[in-house]
Amino acid sequence: DYEAPPIHQAEPAELALLQALPQAFAVYDSLPTRDRLAVQRVVETLISGMQFDLERFEPQGLVALDDESELERYIYLVAGCVGEFWTVVTRRHSPALASWDPAVMEPLGIHFGKALQLTNVLRDLPRDLRNGRCYLPLDELAQSGLVPSDLLLPGNSPKAAPILCKWLHRASAYYSDAVRYLVAIPPRCLRLRLAALWPVLIGLATLNRLAAQPDWLEPGRVIKVSRSWIYAMLLWSVPLALCNPLLRLATQVMLTRLNTQNAALEESR
């Protein structure tokens, strides 16, 4: 059983979180009943994801997920459910979204969240491997003649490329659905659009950088967008958010570049 450390031993960020709990619970108690139920559901799902992560990966050694379904389940539990929750809550409280069909938008919201988490999984793979976590499925590694520990060797990047390519393709499909989600938000809802647009642009830019790295298993290589890119993106994201043709064009360019680089990576192995 896990026993929480004494509060004086907590990290500063953990301490700040603990100290904010009374305020968080006060806000939760002030919500309408149906919103409290939505919060409860998403928090329970997130806790299930954390529990899965703690139970699936051993304290010592390197463990991989079994198969595709296990990775899909994981990225739903820790992120897809948030996209689903976000969709329910924003539709409920934004009159401009009242025409949204939950049967269409909630699955798109799930794919939106999965796109972002899959980006994290692929970007952070070298670091996670050294923390005993291999999120790439064991059966797919075996098909390439690999075991999880082989991924600790950057020289195996080409041999493991088919697995990376598969999941880059999956992430691209999820980002395509995220763009559909974005376009469904009316341009007049600028703040809501920007809140959804920024992570899409950052995620696609990150995956484009990852797909361009032949030594993607190298732990010393940090794959992320630069601060200057972020500042520039914040500026040009506003006209994108206000204009559907521009939004579609910009995201399609990024998706096409990602798919092209992914195809080149597949051919180079």
Distances from the Cα of 216 to the Cαs of 151, 160, 190, in angstroms?
10, 10, 36
Each residue of 67-99: pLDDT tens digit? 999 999 999 999 999 999 999 999 999 999 999
CATH code 3.10.20.30 for 31-268: no
Q: How confident is the model at residue 3 (pLDDT cuts 50, 70, 90)?
A: very low
* Interval 59-66 mean pLDDT: 91
Higher pLDDT, 135 or 222: 135
What is the chain's mean pLDDT, rounded?
94
Each residue of 176-216: pLDDT tens digit? 999 999 999 999 999 999 999 999 999 999 999 999 998 99
User: Which amino acid, 169?
Assistant: H
DSSP of 92-131: HH-GGGTT--HHHHHHHHHHHHHHHHHHHHHHTHHHHHTT
pLDDT value of residue 1 = 41
Each residue of 215-236: pLDDT tens digit? 999 999 889 999 999 999 999 9
pTM, full prediction? 0.92
The span from the CA of 4 to the CA of 245, in Å, is 51
Q: How confident is the model at residue 6 (pLDDT cuts 50, 70, 90)?
A: low
The span from the CA of 249 to the CA of 247, in Å, is 5
Q: For residue 188, give the DSSP letter.
A: T
pLDDT value of residue 5 = 52
